[in-house]
Amino acid sequence: MPLVTSEKMLTDAREGGYAVGAFNVENMEMVKAVIAAAEEVKAPVMLQTTPSTVKYGTLETYFAMVSAEAKKASVPVCLHLDHGSSFELAVQAIKAGYTSVMIDGSHEDFEHNVELTKKVVDVAKACGIPVEAELGKVGGKEDDLEAEEDGNTDPQEAKEFVDRTGVSSLAIAIGTAHGFYAGTPVLDKERVSEVKELVSVPLVLHGASGLSDEDVKECVRRGMCKVNFATELRVAYTEAGKKLLQEKPETFDPKKLGIAGMEAVKELVKERMCVCGCNGKA
């Protein structure tokens, strides 16, 4: 089917008590793997690209790949700009055909975050495109943005932010980090429940790679409606290629490496979809 926006799938997830899996893709093979996984477990799915991925392949290229694969799928597929770094990039993504965008002003102070987010929302809503924003500081590194310390989201600020910006969904900080964790993460899961009580839009969990299944499930039970996975997909794809070359060092056909990577990513995505509870929800 044609690409869809994230709005209905996230609203359905909020009402149904599950989360939609959102998976960062870097190349054609990962696009095919994620959509194939969604088909197999009958799940709605979001595919995401960050600014560095867009720089590597262009917005138009990723749109062409994802939309072509989505047309062959029977499940809803959304193409999302993850961690949009500027107003200009968000607008470019909408023009290129993306069906959901994130503007990340979390590195700004509260007022500037509101101003930047509202500016994107005004343009996106006129085009029928939902907008995700981030409030609080998610630790770790995403592209060139790095947070030294976590600054968990204040529930009252979250309410004010949503009311003033009109965002469609909100990523909140509860102690997660981008990339893998150096130690065992300590999550403020109660904060998810507190924010959910005050805001009317679906909540988003960033930095899920490396979290235990039970941590993800509890966050979903408390109100997370979208869960992002990136680093562990990259690792699965790369490790599959390494394994093939160790076992068959004579391999020279890139397609063989791609097939190995696709299979590894597909199986991982299926597992994560079941953890999020979105399997069978398409």
Residues with catalytic annotation? 82
Pairing of strands 177-178, 203-205: unpaired
Q: Residue 210 in contact with residue 231, Cβ under 8 Å?
A: yes
DSSP symbols for 138-160 = -EEEETTEEESS-BPPPHHHHHH
What distance, in Å, lies between the first and last C-alpha atoms of the chain?
12
> Alpha carbon 123 to chain centroid distance?
21
- Contact 138/150 with Cβ under 8 angstroms? yes
Query: Residue 188: how many CB atoms within 10 A of its CB?
Result: 15
Residue 120 has which token pair?
């994107």
Q: Minimal CA–CA distance to 130: which of 229, 258, 20?
A: 20
Tokens of 153: 């989201």
Buried/exposed code over 79-107 (b: 16+ C-beta within 10 A; e: otherwise)? bbbbbbbeeebbbbbbebebbbbbbbbbe
Q: Provide φ and ψ at 23, rounded to 5°.
A: -120, 125
